[in-house]
Structure 1
Amino acid sequence: MMLRRGKSLTARLTLLFAVVSSSVLLILGLVIAELVERHFEDMDLELLEGKLELIQHAVISARTEGNFDGLSAQLDAALVGHHGLAVGVWGPDGKRLFLSEEAEFPENNALLKPGQVLPKTWKGHGEQHYRGISGQAPTGIQGEPPAMVLLSTSLTHHDHFMQSFRMTMWTVVSLAALLSGFLGWIAARRGLAPLRNIARRASDITANSLDQRIDEGEIPVELAEVVTPLNEMLGRLKESFDRLSDFSSDIAHELRTPVSNLLTQTQVMLSKARSIDEYQDVLASNAEELERLSRTIADMLFLAKADNHLIVPTQEPVDLEAEISSMLEFYEPLIEEKYLKLTFLGHAEVDGDRLMLRRAVGNLLSNAIRHTPEDGFINIALENDGEKVSIRIENSGETIPSEHLPRLFDRFYRVDSSRQRTGEGSGLGLAITKSIALAHNGSVSVCSMDGVTSFSLGLPARRSF
C-alpha cells in the first residue's frame, strides 16, 4: 500500500509567498484606484462648481440687460475648450433658456432639486457615463424666483484611464505573483537547506555509527528544537544498543559454560560402557547444570517482561520486618557457617507484591552473605520517614571501586571480569532487584567505602486511610 504524503513544505512556502505578495499588491491597487476615483470626482466637482458660478453671473447679466436671447452666446463662449461639458438653463417659468448640443441629462431632469450641489453620476446613451450637479442662478430681481441650472461632464476619459489602470494593475499583480512565487521558491529552498543537511546526516547514521551527532552549531536556531531531541534520541539508542550487545555477549558466555559442561560429560559417558553409579553421578551433575540454566532463563524472561512494562505487581500490605525475619531463618545456616555477625533493626510496612519484594530483598541478602568474609558483619535496617521506606543492607568486605558502582545493577556485570561466578548466583539478581523496585515506583542505590558496602532499596510508604 502506498503511503499518502502531504504537500511539499517548499511548495507550501512558495504558494504562501505568492498569495501574500499578490494580496498586498491587489489591496494596494484597489486603494489607489479608489483614491484616483475620488481625485477625478474632486476635479470634476471643482470644474462644475466653477462653471456654475460663471453661469450664475451670466444669468444676472442677461436679466439686467433684459435680454435672455444673448445668454446662449455668452454660455457658448464660456464652454469653449471644455470638451464633454454640457449646460442646461431653465427660467423661473420652466422655459428652457439654454441647452448645450449633445447634452444628456437624466430623464425628467432628476438633478433639478433645490439644494442639489454634490455630483451625481448616470449612464447616458452609448454606455457613456456622466457626472453632474444642479444649482440656482438668481436673476437679480427682488421677488423673482431664480433660474435652474444643470451642468454635466463626460466621464469617458476617466473610464478609459481607469480601465487601463485596472488592466495594468491585474497584469502587475499576475507578474508579481509569478515573480514572488519564484523568489519564494528560491528562498524556501535555501532556507530549508539545513533541514536537508540534517536528513542527509541522519540517513548516514547506522547501528554501527550511533556515536555520530548532528552539529547544532551549524543549524539555525529554529531547527535546534528538532536537532537537540534527535541527538538525545541517538544517545539513548546508542546506550540501548551497547547494553543489548553487552547483554548478548554476557548471556552467550553464561549459557556456554553449562551447555559445554553438559555436552562434555555426556560425550565422555557415552564413549564407553559405565557403571550405574557413574551414570547416576553424571546425571546428578547434569541436573545441577540444567537447574542453573533454568534459573538463568527464568530470570531473563522476568527481566524481559520488566523492560516491556509487563510486570504489574499486586497491591497488598507487606510487613517488611516479618518477611525479612522469615528470610533470615532460611539463610541462618550460611550465616553461622561463615561466623557472621548479624543485626536487624526497624519496622516498616509497604503496599506491594509480597513475593516480588521477598525476591528483591532475598537477592540483596544472598549477595551480602556471599561477599562477606568469615567473621564479618551484616547490618539490616528499616527506615520510614512517612513517605518512603528504605531497606538498607550493609556488609563488610572489600571496597568496590567507585567506577564500578553505577553498573552493579546491570545484567551479568562483573566487578572483576577475570573471575568466574561461583555459587548459585546467575548474575541477574541485582538487575532483578532493580526491576522490582522500579515496578513498585521505588529505587535502588549502592555505596562502598572503607571496607563497607551498603545497598538500599527504597519503596513508597504504605498509605494510611
Structure 2
Amino acid sequence: MINPRSITFRLTLLFSTASATTLLLVGLLVSSLVESHFEEQDLIELRGKLELIRHAFAKVRTPSELTNIPNSLSDALIGHPDLSVVIRGPDNRLLFTTSNATFATYLFEQPSNGDVYSNETKLVMWEQREHIYRGISATTATGITGQPMATAALAVNIEHHTAFMKSFHTNLWMAIATGILLTIVLGWGAARRGLAPVREMANVAKGISVNRLSDRLSSNSVPPELTNLAIAFNEMLTRLEGSFHRLSDFSSDLAHELRTPISNLMTQTQVALSKGRSIEEYREVLYSNLEEYERLARMISDMLFLAKADNGLIVPNSEIVNLHNEVRDLFGFYEAIADEQSVSLKLIGEGTVRGDRLMLRRALSNLLSNAIRHSSYSKLVKVLIDQTNPEEITLVVENYGETIAMGHLPRLFDRFYRVDPSRQKTSDGAGLGLAIAKSIIEAHKGKINAFSSNGITRFEITFPSVLNE
C-alpha cells in the first residue's frame, strides 16, 4: 500500500516544480535573446561593411579603376582584424581578399533571402580551422556600363562571442540551479508556516477529552481559507459537548428511574420476608410488585422504541389517517381523567395525513396526556387541526397552566427531562412521553415545536400534506 504524501511535501513539490519550470523557461528565453542580440550585432556590422564595398565598386567608372579596388578596400577595412572579405568576379576570378580569409564554399551558393537587401544571403555560421565564423554574401555592381556583377563574401570571427556565451550559460544555469534549490527550501518553509494553523487545530483536537469539551478554535487567528473549517470544527465540538451532557444526564436519570422501582421491589420483598404472613398478605405484596414490574416493562419498552428511532429503524406503515377521528377517540379515552381535574377538551378542525395510525395515535396520546396533566384546574385543553396550507397540515395541542421558561423549551423533548424536578417522584410518567412523540413525528417526516407564554403552552406539529403527493 502506498503511503500518502504529507501536505507539506505536496505543496513544496508543486511550488518547486512551478518555480523550476518558470526559471528554466526564463533562462532559455534570456539565452535566446542574448544570442539573437549578438547575431543582430554581427549582421549590422557585416551589412555596414557590405555597403562600404558596394559604395567603392559604384565609384568605378573604367576597367583601370577596378584594379585600384584592393588598395582602397584595404585602407577602408583596416582596424578590423576579425573581419574577412573575399570578392570574386563573374568568372569566379578573385578580385579582393583579406589576409587569412577562408570561407565555406556554399556561402557563395546561398540563395537570396528576399529581404530589402537585394541579392543578399541569409546570415550563416560555420566552423573552419578551429575558428567559428558568421557571415553573408551578396552581389555588388560597378559603375561600368555592361560590367557583370561581382560577388562579395563577408565573415566575422565570433570566438569572443561564443566564449562569452559559454561563460554566460554556465553562470546562468548555475544561478537557475541555485534558484531551484532555494525555491525548494523556501517552499518547504512557507508550506510549514502556512500549515501552522492546521497543526494548531490538530493539537486542539488531540486535547479534546471528556473533561475538555469546552476548548474552541479562534476563528480570528486562522487564515481565511481555514475559517470555515475552524467554524465547522467549533460547531462540531459544541454538538459533541451538548450530546455528551445530554447523554450524561440521560444515564443519571435512567439510573434514578430504574433505581426507584427496583428499590420498591426490594423493600416490599424484604418486608414480606421479615415475618410469616397470610396468603392474602402475600398476594397483596405480589400485586404491588406486579405494578412495579409493569412500570419497568413500560420504561424498557419505551427505551427500546427510542433506541430504534435513533438508528432509523422505525418504518411507519403507509395509510391515510384521519387526525380528527383519532383525536376524538382519544378524547373519549381521557375524558375520565380530564373530569377529575375539571378540564374541558375541545377539538377544532379536520385533516388527514399519510402514516402509521397506531404510532400517530401513540404520539397524540402522549401529547394529550401531558397537556391534561399540566393543565390548571377547570381550564381548557384544545386541539386545533389546520389543513388550509396545501403544502402541509398543522396540529396544535394547547393547554392553560404555568408558563414554561424559555430556557426549558428546547429540552422538553429530552428523555427523562422534567421542568420541575420536585415533581419527579409524584409524576406517573417516566419522562419519555414527549421524546417518543417527537421520534414518531420525525419518523413521519414531520416537525414538532413547543411554545409557552402568558400561561398558555402550545405544542405545534406540522406534517407533509397528502394533497401535495
Q: Same fold (TM over 0.5)?
A: yes
Q: Look up the match of 2:436.
A: 432
Aligned: 1:459 with 2:463: yes
Aligned pair count? 463
Shift of the 152–260 alpha-carbon distance from structure 1 to 2, 3 Å rule, reads same
Match of 2:409 among 402, 405, 408: 405
175-184 or 357-366: bigger deviation: 175-184
Are 1:116 and 1:133, in contact at CA under 8 Å, matched by a contact in 2?
no
Instruction: Give the residue type in structure 1 aligned to 2:365.
Output: G
Is 1:371 the equivalent of 2:374? yes
Q: Which residue of 1 aligns with 2:36?
A: 38
Measure how far apart 1:96 and its partner are.
2.4
TM-superposed CA distance for 1:110, in Å, is: 1.4
1:212-234: per-residue Cα shift (whole Å, max 9, x none)? 21122322333212211111111
Amino acid corresponding to residue 109 of structure 1 in structure 2: F
> What letter corresponds to residue 176 of structure 1 in structure 2?
G
Cα distance per residue 1:386-420 (max 9 Å; x no partner):
33322222334444344433322221111221223
Moved more, 55-64 or 432-441: 55-64
SS at match of 2:408: helix
Task: Tell me the distance in 2 between the aligned counterparts of 1:299 and 1:147.
Answer: 116
Residue of structure 2 in register with 1:106 after alignment: 105
Question: For residues 382-401 of structure 1, what are the structure 2 equivalents within 5 Å?
Answer: 382-386=385-389, 387-401=391-405
- 2:204 pairs with 201, 204, 214, which one? 201
Q: How far is the alpha carbon of 1:67 from its aligned partner?
A: 6.0
For residues 309 and 144 of structure 2, what CA distance do their matches in structure 1 show? 115
1:407-465 per-position Cα deviation (integer Å, ceiling 9, x unaligned):
22221111221223446422100111111122222222333444443333222222266
- The 5-angstrom pairing of residues 131-150 of structure 1 reads 131-150=134-153
Q: Is 1:350 matched with 2:353?
A: yes
Q: Which amino acid aligns with 2:464?
A: P
Q: How far apart are 1:177 and its partner, in Å?
A: 1.0
In the TM superposition, 1:20-31 aligns within 5 A as 20-31=18-29
Hey, what does 1:177 align to over in structure 2? 180
Q: How many Å apart are 1:296 and its aligned residue?
A: 0.8
Query: What is the Cα-based RMSD across aligned positions, in Å?
Result: 2.6
Match of 1:288 among 286, 291, 305: 291
Alpha-carbon distance in structure 1 between the residues aligned to 2:377 and 2:27:
98
Q: Where does residue 229 of structure 1 map in the other structure?
A: 232
Structure 1 position 70, deviation (Å): 4.8
Mapped contact 2:85–2:101 kept (Cα < 8 A):
no
Q: Give yes or no for contact 1:88–1:149 (8 Å, CA) kept in 2.
A: yes
- Read off the aligned partner of 1:104 and give its amino acid letter: F
Greater alpha carbon shift after TM alignment, 298-307 vs 448-457? 448-457
2:420 aligned to which of 397, 416, 432: 416
Identity %: 48
Instruction: State whether residues 450 and 459 of structure 2, in contact with CA within 8 Å, keep that contact through their aligned partners in structure 1.
Output: yes
Asked if 2 retains the 8 angstrom alpha-carbon contact of 1:59 and 1:137, the reply is: yes
Deviates more, 1:194-203 or 1:341-350: 194-203
Q: Which residue of 2 aligns with 1:441?
A: 445
TM-score by length of 1: 0.90
Q: Which runs of 5+ in 2 are unaligned?
A: none
Kept after mapping to 2: 8 A contact 1:45/1:119: no
Taking structure 1 as reference, are residues 13 and 453 closer, same or farther at Cα in structure 2, changes over 3 Å only? closer
Q: Structure 2 CA distance, aligned partners of 1:112 and 1:391?
A: 99
Please give the TM-score of this superposition, normalised by the length of structure 2.
0.90
Measure how far apart 1:323 and its partner are: 1.4
Q: Distance in 1 between matches of 2:216 and 2:299?
A: 37
Question: Residues 192-229 of structure 1, C-alpha deviation per residue, up to 9 Å, x if partnerless?
Answer: 32332222223222221111211223223332122111
- Shift in alpha-carbon separation, 1:382–1:397, aligned structure 2, 3 A: same
- Within the candidate set 71, 84, 87, 2:85 is matched to 87
Change (3 A) 1:72 1:105: farther
On the 8 A contact 2:121/2:138 being kept in 1, the answer is no
Structure 1 stretches of 4+ with a deviation exceeding 6 A read none
The answer on whether the counterparts of 2:122 and 2:136 sit within 8 Å (CA) in structure 1 is yes
Distance 1:173 1:264, change over 3 A: same
User: After the TM superposition, which of the residue ranges 203-212 and 291-300 deviates more from structure 2?
Assistant: 203-212
DSSP-derived class of the 1:313 partner: coil
Q: Which amino acid aligns with 1:106?
A: T
Q: 1:3-14, aligned counterparts within 5 Å?
A: 5-14=3-12
Q: Indicate conservation of the 8 Å contact 1:112/1:150, yes or no.
A: no
